[in-house]
Amino acid sequence: MDAARPIALVTGATSGIGRAVALELGRTHHVLVGGRDRDRLDELVVALPSAESFVADLVTGPLPPLPATLDVLVHSAGVEDGSTIEHTDRATWEAVFAANVFAVADLTRLALPALRAAEGLVITINSGAGLAAAPGGGVYAASKFALRALTDALREEERPNGVRVSSVHPGRTDTAMQRRKVEREGDDYDTRLYLAPESVAAAVRTVVDLPPGGTIETLSIRPTRRSPVR
């Protein structure tokens, strides 16, 4: 660990947006790379200048010890599941909310002393679905709406403590989760219509690099191209 570097914890760091964020912040931060697969985490640790694994299942726990001070916490872990309201059972609702909302609340609660000590920054990787719901996507959108409410409340609660809280809302992004979703929907996958994970990581960097006197409270990012209207 490079003691001169600020510390960032990134969840969901083994793939997709989380991995891109860990690599981006790794240029300037000591990164705690969070995930469930120790081998994949250790591979990423080796690729970073200053990093260590944070091995945990955020839904079932237990969580490893947190540092005394934490400068940045990026919640990137999450799941996407569900169909129409008619065809989605309660177990699916509970699993999606457990990963996308309850786990975020639990980890944030445990990390607050360290964040307050550093007057740090919390970033939740939300979604365009956290701003508008579409048919067949109600389960995921409901969890992301709930995550937005959690983030908004946390921001106001932590203002007196100097902790900044930001919500980043990417549109559809080229990840394994997105590929599974498109396959389930029966559509063709055209990478030109999706954000690169690195673009989302660049947005996170913008949030992190803002001087402490201000907060980017909500940041929405969308792919430049759109699929033709059918």
What count of other Cβ atoms lies within 10 Å of the Cβ of residue 169? 21
Which of 131, 58, 48, 66 lies closest to 101 in space, CA to CA? 58
H/E element, 97 = helix 90-97
The span from the CA of 220 to the CA of 201, in Å, is 13
Q: Does the annotation mark 189 as catalytic?
A: no
Are 33 and 41 in contact by the 8 Å Cβ rule? The answer is: yes
The span from the CA of 85 to the CA of 89, in Å, is 8
Set 71, 112, 124, 140: catalytic member: 140
Are 110 and 59 in contact by the 8 Å Cβ rule? The answer is: no
Q: E-strand spans in 17-125?
A: 30-35, 51-55, 72-75, 121-125
Which of 16, 54, 73 lies closest to 201 in space, CA to CA? 16
The span from the CA of 173 to the CA of 199, in Å, is 9
Positions marked active-site = 140
